Amino acid sequence: MTTLDALSANKGRLRWQCRRALLELDLVLERFLARDFDALDEEALGTLAEMLALDDYALWALVNGSQPAPNARWQAMLARMTAPAA
């Protein structure tokens, strides 16, 4: 498998992991995927993967701002996720 194939497979898994049971979170992630996902570099994809490993309620707490992000990378990703549509 080439590096490009591996990256493509990883992106496919991350897209699938963005489908969440919590409707509010699903809507935020759906908009984020449509707007920004294809522009993410490998580092940003890694950050997204870390965040998607959280359960829905823990991730939603970060997205809605009721819990602070633990580091600057997550803060930047949350800013991208929650940015208003242009």
pLDDT tens track for 32-76: 999 999 999 989 999 999 999 999 999 999 999 999 999 999 999
Rounded distance, CA 84 to CA 79, Å?
A: 10
What's the mean pLDDT in 6-14?
77
Task: Please check whether residue 26 is in contact with residue 81, taking contact to mean a CB–CB distance below 8 angstroms.
Answer: no
pLDDT-based confidence at residue 1 (cuts at 50, 70, 90): low
- Domain count for the chain: 1
For the chain, the residue count is: 86
| pLDDT of residue 78 exceeding 80 | yes
Q: 1, 81, 82, 14: which is closest to 42 by C-alpha?
A: 14
Helix-strand-coil split of the chain, %, nearest 5: 70, 0, 30
Statement: residue 6 has pLDDT above 90: no
Q: Exposure pattern of 19-31 as b/e (b: 16+ CB <10 Å)?
A: ebeeeebeebbee
Q: Residue 7's domain spans which residues?
A: 3-82
